[in-house]
Amino acid sequence: MDMSFSAEDLVFREEVRAFLDDKLNIRLREGAFATPSVFVEPDITREWQAILNEKGWLATLWPEEDGGPGFTPTQKYIFEKECALAGAPALPVLGLKLVGPVICKFGTPEQKARFLPRILSGEDYWCQGYSEPGAGSDLASLKTRAERQGDKYIVNGSKIWTTHAHHANWIFALVRTNPDAKKQEGISFLLVPMDQPGVSVTPIVTIANDHEVNATFFDNAETSVENLIGDEGQGWTIAKYLLENERGGSCAAPSLLAEIERVEQYAKRQPSGVNGAMDHDVALMQRLARLRLETEAFEVTELRILSELAKGRPAGPQTSLMKLTASNLRQAINTITIDMFGYDGLQLPTSRPLYGNEAPEPVGGREAQLAMPTWLNGRAWTIFGGSDEVQKTIIAKQVLGL
């Protein structure tokens, strides 16, 4: 595989750098930096989304004919890397990177025309209704029921851990449409409007003091049959396609490397009892160097998979490998950050947001203030999108053929 960029790619990289330099204002950079989670609040993401949409660089996972930017895989990688290095906010994943590609692939022309432009414009904000209290890793056991009555589905049941459901006006849900069929075959993929009496949302505040996730209840909620994606009973196939995008559709290495670079900078400034600044602490710097090497190796694997995708091969179960590695690297970076800040890294502010005028006063600097919220929030990396153990089982069975 050729790892060097072509002359055109280098020109594109300059264009991206100039664009980011021009458009990423202080508020956006600050909001992205001071969010201890991958889920940036809509007050920040909406602004950034509008800027990217105007430029036509928003929905990098969508085909060009559906509104994607038409990047080559290398351009996509360059774009993600430059955004990460510049500290751009993460975009709303659930619409742009999860349900959007599903509608592009499985939606009817009418569904595409109805939903895709509203995802791009930010008019619709989506959440994901997969997990239930008794169906997480064993997702196919889900019980939320959708019964067809005339031209509507009536939905009853509940979903849990629904990220940003309190901001969303639509939910894409896996529902059981045929209770008599075999587990996977009775499931359908349904879009349900949130703004109706039959849908209610209850907050779940996590160990990190963040309100990101919720429980969502359906009590005779209604949705039109026009909002079924694919056929009845095709939900499991669609769910798996979406999960592959969730696990490996985005490039993770650029943001991991950008994080490591930030930690290396902190080490130069953070005082150490050993020898001046933390970057003289040999044990810590060895750990950091090992992490950088592992992440650079991961980047090469990610680039290899990207080049396979460019040849038209599907993402497939190898995305589990990417999800597993990226999640564990991210947690290791968060841990070393805490270790570096020592006592100052142990603060856990109760109020949010941690940016803007309302932000609580930090002890020992903003970076130190973010270390613990980020570490705690980051425990979820090895759970959402399928836990580590689930990824390892997929790798064993479907990648290694064990």
Ligand X SMILES: Cc1cc2nc3c(=O)[nH]c(=O)nc-3n(C[C@H](O)[C@H](O)[C@H](O)COP(=O)(O)OP(=O)(O)OC[C@H]3O[C@@H](n4cnc5c(N)ncnc54)[C@H](O)[C@@H]3O)c2cc1C
Question: Shortest CA distance to 165 belongs to which of 140, 131, 136?
Answer: 131
Supply the minimum distance, in Å, between the C-beta of residue 273 and ligand X. 36
Residues 39, 93 contacting (CB under 8 angstroms)? yes
Q: Which is nearer to ligand X, 72 or 393 (CB)?
A: 393
- Using CB under 6 A as the binding rule, whether residue 191 contacts ligand X is answered as no
Q: Which residue, 81 or 323, has its beta carbon nearer to ligand X?
A: 323
CB closer to ligand X, 174 vs 257: 174
Q: Please, which residue, 112 or 145, has the CB nearer to ligand X? A: 145
Q: According to CB under 6 A, which residues from 356 to 385 bind ligand X?
A: 380, 383-384
Q: Does 387 bind ligand X (CB under 6 A)?
A: yes
**Active-site annotation holder among 246, 299, 302, 367:** 246
- Contact by Cβ (8 Å): 72, 118: no
Q: Tell which one of 115, 161, 172, 236 touches ligand X (CB under 6 A).
A: 161
d(C-alpha 293, C-alpha 300), whole Å: 11
Ramachandran bin of 235, using left for φ above 0, alpha for ψ from -120 to 50, beta for the remaining angles: alpha
Binding-residue total with ligand X (CB under 6 A)? 19
Distance between CA atoms of residues 75 and 373, nearest Å: 33
* Rounded CA separation 6/97 (Å): 27
Compute the least distance from the CB of residue 388 to ligand X, in Å. Answer: 6
Q: In this chain, which stretch among 156-164, 189-197, 322-330, 340-348 interacts with ligand X, using CB under 6 A?
A: 156-164
Site for ligand X in 209-268 (CB under 6 A): 213
Chain-centre distance of CA 114, in angstroms?
A: 24
Closest to ligand X by CB, 68 or 378 = 378
- Residue type (1 letter), 252: A
- Is residue 129 within 8 Å of 180, Cβ to Cβ? no
Contact 183, 199 (CB under 8 A): no
- Of 78 and 333, the one with the shorter C-beta distance to ligand X is 333
Structure tokens at 307: 């080049």
Closest CB to ligand X among residues 78, 103: 103
Q: Which of residues 122-141 bind ligand X (CB under 6 A)?
A: 127-131, 136-137
Q: Single out the residue of 219, 226, 389, 396 in contact with ligand X (rule: CB under 6 A).
A: 389
Of the residues 162, 177, 227, 334, which one makes contact with ligand X according to CB under 6 A = 162
To which H or E segment does residue 160 belong? strand 152-160
DSSP letters for 245-295 = HHHHTS--HHHHHHHHHHHHHHHHHSEETTTEEGGG-HHHHHHHHHHHHHH
User: In angstroms, what is the minimal distance from the CB of 385 to ligand X?
Assistant: 6
Cα–Cα distance, 319 to 246 (Å, whole number): 9
Class of residue 166 by CB neighbours under 10 A (exposed 0-12, middle 13-18, buried 19+): middle
Per DSSP, the three-state class of 107 is coil
For residue 129, the minimal CB distance to ligand X (Å) is 6
In order, the DSSP letters of 293-311 are HHHHHHHHHHHHHHHHHHT
φ, ψ for residue 92 (rounded to 5)? -65, 110
Cβ 329 to ligand X, closest distance in Å?
18
- The closest alpha carbon to 321, from 335, 333, 308, belongs to 308
State the DSSP H helix or E strand holding residue 148, giving kind and residue range, or none if neither: strand 145-149
Determine the interface stretch with ligand X among 84-92, 106-114, 121-129, 148-156 (rule: CB under 6 A): 121-129
CB of 319 to ligand X, least distance (A): 15
Which residue of the chain is nearest ligand X when measured via CB?
Answer: 136
Is 30 part of the annotated catalytic residue set? no
Residues 267-306 that bind ligand X (CB under 6 A): none
Tell me, residue by residue from 301 to 330, as one string, x for binding to ligand X by CB under 6 A and - for no binding. Answer: ------------------------------
Q: Which is nearer to ligand X, 236 or 266 (CB)?
A: 236
CB of 204 to ligand X, least distance (A): 9
Shortest approach of ligand X to residue 29 CB, angstroms?
A: 24
Report the C-alpha gap between 17 and 295 in whole angstroms.
23
Given the rule CB under 6 A, which residues bind ligand X?
127-131, 136-137, 161-163, 213, 380, 383-384, 386-387, 389-390, 393
- The residues carrying an active-site annotation are 246
